[in-house]
Amino acid sequence: MGSTRTARGRGGAPSMVEVAALAGVSVGTVSNVVNHPERVRAETIEKVRAAIEQLGFSRAVPVRAARTNPSVVEVAAVAGVSVGTVSNALNHPEQVRPETLARVRAAIEQLGFTPNANARSLAGGENRTIGLVVVDLGNTLFVDIARGAQREAAARGESLLVTNSDRDDAQQDAHLDLFESARVRGVVLAPLSDPFAGIQRVRRHGTPLVVVNYDDGRQDCCTVLVDNERVGYLAARHMVELGRRRLAWVSELNDLQPVHERQAGVRRAVREAGRGVSLVELDTEGVGENDGDHVVEEVLALPARRRPDALIAVTDMLGASVVEALRGAGLSVPGDIAVMGCDHDARAWGGAVPLTTVRMEGEEMGAAAVRLLADEVAEGVDHVHRRVVVQPSLLVRESSAGRLPR
């Protein structure tokens, strides 16, 4: 990348690298001459100082230094040992004599040596980094998953690298390949849609993989799931406990597993509530997450005695959109109709009425995923895939319970 430049101007000041080249010594030696001349033979000092003189070298704050990293070879030279010993000092310090260790560590410190992880990995050293591919960092659930995974990884002395596929299948694949090509220890995937192809992609190389928040039903990897049936159950039970009697389930009509499961939970709660409580299912095809107006039209079209007094939306986004539409139609929330969502999604939190929701325990999910991955790594070929199901919890806010007294 060429030479160094001082902060003061564009002088093109020479770097230690150039001095070393001119003097025919290593950069470590030049550094020693500058910082610790007592460690260097008089003859070498003279040679280096001549080079310094000739090039007009002076230590300066570089604006943008050439990119350069000392290697084990230079560390070994400065410490006066072989590269094998440097490597041992790094990886098996207990096998190195304390004094030798101290000398190596001093050299590392002095040179600012940061081992090249690529070389280390290539040579068969241990890799303690995990990759997490997340479908959408804009959704709170996945941010929570990332945070939980990060904490668990840190607690285990591993590093977590996060990648956001931004709801794009091609990017998701690219990120899986990226982690595979980096030969990370394992991958956690929170996918957009059925991750079958992605799983195959990782699995064919035998890389440990855990899938979060998607049950493909094939059991071909460890999985962390939310109990979505319970999500719906908690929601409907909440409305019943508030005294609501005519519940409505609002969702897009589609094949997504979580949607079906939540719906099943709602039905179960209504069934358990007995005679006085009824359920209307407003699951229309093509209702997007911002189609509250559309939903409200349907609601208002119902005969008065069938009109619901509680709406449960499959997601917070849809719930928030429904709240706005109801208020736009002159109805009060929750006075006329209580509303809630599911998901605990921050994108839905800007509305006028704080939205009741069912929260999935994202941090716990992320932590569980890292634990499963660690087990898979540890167990090797004896590993048997497991699934962890995390329980959701209710979060009551104004849209169902009204403004809280305090």
Partner DNA sequence: CTGAAAGCGCTTACAG
**Which residues in the 295-334 window bind a second copy by CB under 8 A?**
324, 327-328
Coil vs helix vs strand at 344: coil
Q: Which does 398 bind (CB under 5 to 8 A by kind): DNA, a second copy, none?
A: a second copy
Residue among 38, 126, 255, 382 that touches DNA (CB under 7 A)? 126
Residues sharing a CB contact under 8 Å with residue 377, sequence separation 6 or more, in sequence order: 185, 186, 208
**Consecutive H or E run containing 262:** helix 257-273
Residue among 55, 65, 83, 394 that touches DNA (CB under 7 A)? 83
Is 182 a binding residue for DNA by CB under 7 A? The answer is: no
Judge whether 183 and 364 are in contact, CB under 8 Å: no
The number of residues that bind a second copy (CB under 8 A) is: 79
Q: Convert 21-54 to b/e letters by CB count within 10 Å (16 or more is b).
A: bbbebbbbbbbbbbeeeeebeeebbebbbebbee
Q: Which is nearer to DNA, 127 or 193 (CB)?
A: 127
Q: Which is nearer to a second copy, 162 or 266 (CB)?
A: 162
Residue among 11, 84, 93, 112 that touches a second copy (CB under 8 A)? 112
Mask for 35-74, x = binds DNA (CB under 7 A): ----------------------------------x-xxx-
Q: Which does 87 bind (CB under 5 to 8 A by kind): DNA, a second copy, none?
A: DNA
Q: Which does 406 bind (CB under 5 to 8 A by kind): DNA, a second copy, none?
A: a second copy
How is residue 361 written in tokens? 């325990």
Is 137 a binding residue for a second copy by CB under 8 A? The answer is: yes
Can you tell me the distance from the alpha carbon of 168 to that of 184, in angstroms, rounded to the nearest whole number? 22
Q: How far is the CB of 380 from DNA (least distance, A)?
A: 17
Q: Are strands 129-134 and 159-164 parallel, antiparallel or unpaired?
A: parallel
Q: How far is the CB of 78 from a second copy (least distance, A)?
A: 16
Q: Which does 96 bind (CB under 5 to 8 A by kind): a second copy, DNA, none?
A: DNA
Residue among 86, 240, 333, 342 that touches DNA (CB under 7 A)? 86
Is 81 a binding residue for DNA by CB under 7 A? The answer is: yes
Judge whether 113 and 69 are in contact, CB under 8 Å: yes
Q: Which is nearer to a second copy, 247 or 358 (CB)?
A: 358
Can you tell me the distance from the alpha carbon of 208 to that of 199, in angstroms, rounded to the nearest whole number? 10
Is 184 a binding residue for DNA by CB under 7 A? The answer is: no
Closest CA to 359 of 162, 144, 133: 144
Mask for 67-86, x = binds a second copy (CB under 8 A): xxx-----------------
Judge whether 269 and 233 are in contact, CB under 8 Å: yes
Q: How far is the CB of 263 from a second copy (least distance, A)?
A: 27
| Contact stretch for a second copy (CB under 8 A) within 102-110, 151-159, 294-302, 307-315 | 151-159
Contacts 24+ apart (CB under 8 A), 120-124: 121/182, 121/183
Q: Which does 301 bind (CB under 5 to 8 A by kind): a second copy, DNA, none?
A: none
**Peptide bond before residue 334 is cis, with ω within 30 degrees of 0:** yes
**3-class DSSP string for 202-244:** HHCCCCCEEEECCCCCCCCCEEEEECHHHHHHHHHHHHHHCCC
Is 164 a binding residue for a second copy by CB under 8 A? The answer is: yes
- Provide the binding-site residues for DNA, judged by CB under 7 A: 69, 71-73, 81-88, 90-92, 95-97, 99-100, 113, 115-116, 119-120, 122-126
